[in-house]
Amino acid sequence: MAGVTEHLDQHQILLDLQEALGGIVVFYSLAPVGARRVATDYAKGDYNPNDFGMTAFDMFTVGCSLRTGASGRALLAYVPEDIREIALAEPIPATAGPGAMDNEELLASIEGIRACGYAIGRQECLPGWNSVAVPALWGNTALGVVLWLRPADEGPGDVTDYVEDVRKAAELISFAATAGGRNPGPSA
């Protein structure tokens, strides 16, 4: 098995997904403390998020909340109940998009995420951006979430067409992480 996994590299998997689909690809992990997510890897292609109204403030407020966005909800579906309660007690970030959900909608979406294995975000984190998020799992534990996002006015309107591509990337990362994949060298 090591012969297969030693060539799997999370960053390259994200780069390949971004090259295939366009948009921006981010790998989010659960923060070690609190009910937050942190971006641990990404492939942004030719995008400058600032061109679309994303700022550093957005990335560190809306972008880290578990209660907004497909990636936040996908992680929220796999965290312990006490972390979920912390996230639900937080207000929706003021800079969130019009698709951000209230607690009732959020809790209902978690059941669907666990059943189908992915989350769709329609202008939740930021106005004008849609996304697909699929958790990279080790058994029933989320190692993180692969998030693919793009401006809503680019490409087909229904981002569910991209679920399988994002799912394959998450599965490769899961496989590499749990079966001995390699870490990128200093030149990566």
What is the residue whose two structure tokens read 């680019």?
154
pLDDT of res. 50:
74
Question: Is 186 inside any structural domain?
Answer: no
Is residue 184 a part of any domain in this protein?
Answer: no
Q: Which domain holds residue 55?
A: 2-156+165-179
Is 139 inside any structural domain?
yes
What pLDDT digit, counting tens, does each position of 57-81 carry? 665 555 688 888 899 999 999 999 9
In a domain, residue 128? The reply is: yes
The CATH number that applies at residue 69 is: 3.30.450.40
What is the structure's pLDDT at 32?
84
- Per 3-state DSSP, the chain is made up of helix, strand and coil in percentages (nearest 5) of 45, 20, 35
- What's the pLDDT tens digit per position in 127-173? 788 999 999 998 888 999 999 998 888 877 789 999 999 999 999 99
Q: How many CA atoms lie within 13 A of 176 on its CB side?
A: 21
Return mean pLDDT, the chain: 84
DSSP state of 138: E
Alpha-carbon torsion angle 59, 49, 123, 125, nearest 10: 0
Band the pLDDT of 93: cuts 50, 70, 90: confident
**What six digits make up the tokens of 28?**
């989010």
Q: How many domains does the chain have?
A: 1
Instruction: Please answer whether residues 45 and 2 qualify as being in contact, where contact means their C-beta atoms are separated by less than 8 angstroms.
Output: no
Domain contains 187: no
Is 188 contained in some domain? no
Give domain status of residue 106, yes or no: yes
